[in-house]
Amino acid sequence: MEFLGRFPTTRMRRNRRDDWNRRLVAENTLSADDFILPIFIAEGQGRREHVHSMPGVERISADLLAETVAEVAALNIPAIAIFPEVDPTLKTPDAREACNPDNLVCRSIKAVKAAHPDIGIVCDAALDPFNSDGHDGLLVDGHILNDETVEILCRQSVVQADAGCDVIAPSDMMDGRIGSIRQALDDAGYADVRIMSYAAKYASAFYGPFRDAIGSQAALKGDKKTYQMDYANSDEALREVALDIDEGADMVMVKPGLPYLDIIRRVKDAFGVPTFAYQVSGEYAMLKGAVANGWLDNDRVVLESLTAFKRAGADGILTYMAVEAARLLRDR
Ligand code: PBG
């Protein structure tokens, strides 16, 4: 790097001296276009509850969705992701409610599409909200069944597409599910419905608050280590992503986010496909917990943490901070 200059003719601080100059040489930018807002939906009417471990995040009933989505639209956030808190009495070992065309997810999709047809809707394909065992797949004799689960995920995906979902996001980490879901969508006439694969999803303790939010924690038997990835691994993430692209994924995701920026960078460099990061519930809880204690400055950590994803190579970020970040970006 010697050709790049040498002190004292070169002074790195010159380009940092003024705000205009810093803005001029910034290598990465963050905008509302980068965000997908995850929203927790509950059964009932007029319900709005705080998620205890995620200060500032609410669980709302489907009738209140239009209001939230209006704000999302006004801020130019392109898409939302819907996550249901399913009535415990509807949870079964075969997770059949996942394929009910009138389930909470499908009713929510229709409510959003009716009010704001131009907002992208992303829905998980996974059984955990509907499964009395709390797992993303079918649990039989202590094992998560792969191929049998994939069959259900295909039906779940088509049902969600029927309701108007734009992007199916398989978050279950079963093998072969991207190819099967692609086939099922195509067979049902949904060649244009996109797949955003949770391609490199790690077995992480950072999902704790999410499982509280959708009420899957209480049900969860054991852990998810036989299908989600070991956080010690990185090469394995590249294989997962390669397989999913080969099977037809339009976009891939790395999850969690900030502790896994190295994976995002490797994936983006290796494949150059649309790559997303999920700043998960536990990351949100960490930042907001420190903010609540007065230990961190909210607005600055919001923008810094989100920009870090862009620097790592992410094209977009699923983040619970999407609305406040978009407001900060608009007003700065
Ligand atoms: C479930 C799913 C999880 C998240 C998104 N989809 C949790 C899990 O795998 O247990 C986590 C999101 C978050 O923590 O914010 N398939």
Look at the chain and report how many structural domains it folds into: 1
Give the distance (Å) from ligand 1 centre to CA of residue 86.
14
Query: Is 18 among the domain residues?
Result: no
Confidence (pLDDT) at 2: 64
Tell whether ligand 1 has an atom less than 6 A from the beta carbon of residue 85.
no
With a 6 A CB cut-off, is 171 part of the ligand 1 pocket?
Answer: yes
What are the pLDDT digits (tens) for 45-84?
Answer: 999 999 999 999 999 999 999 999 999 999 999 999 999 9
Task: Using CB atoms within 10 Å of the CB of residue 203, give its burial: 0 to 12 exposed, 13 to 18 middle, 19+ buried.
Answer: middle
Ligand 1 pocket, mutate which of 124, 157, 171 (most atoms under 8 A from CB): 171
Cα 210 to ligand 1 centre (Å): 6
Q: Using one digit for the tens of pLDDT, what is the confidence trace for 244-301? A: 999 999 999 999 999 999 999 999 999 999 999 999 999 999 999 999 999 999 999 9
Q: Is the CB of 124 under 6 A from ligand 1?
A: yes
**Distance between Cα 211 and ligand 1 center (Å):** 7
Structural domain includes residue 16:
no
126 in ligand 1 pocket by Cβ < 6 Å?
Answer: yes
Sign of dihedral through CA atoms 61, 84, 320, 157?
A: negative
Q: Is the CB of 260 under 6 A from ligand 1?
A: no
The reply to whether 8 falls in a domain is no
Q: Is 19 domain-assigned?
A: no
Q: Which residues are catalytic?
A: 201, 255
The answer to whether the CB of 197 is under 6 A from ligand 1 is no
Cis peptide before 256 (omega within 30 of 0): yes
Domain assignment of residue 14, yes or no: no
Could you give phi then psi for residue 279, rounded to 5 degrees? -80, 100
Spans of the chain, pLDDT less than 50: none
Task: Print the domain residue range for 106.
Answer: 29-331
Q: Is the CB of 280 under 6 A from ligand 1?
A: yes
Q: What is the DSSP string of 276-316?
A: EEEE-HHHHHHHHHHHHTTSS-HHHHHHHHHHHHHHHT-SE
The whole-angstrom separation of Cα 103 and Cα 141 is 28
Residue 189 lies inside a defined structural domain of this protein: yes
Q: Which pLDDT belongs to residue 1?
A: 60
What is the distance in A from the centroid of ligand 1 to the CA of 224?
A: 11
CATH number at residue 160: 3.20.20.70
Judge whether 21 lies within some domain: no
Q: Which atom of ligand 1 is nearest to the CA of 126?
A: 16
Residue with the smallest CA separation from ligand 1 atom 2 is: 171
User: Which residues 6+ apart lie within 8 Å of 80 measured at CB?
Assistant: 36, 37, 38, 39, 69, 72, 112, 119, 120, 121, 122
pLDDT value for 16: 98
Residues near 39 by beta carbon (within 8 Å), at least 6 away in sequence: 60, 65, 68, 80, 81, 82, 83
Could you tell me if residue 15 is inside a domain?
A: no
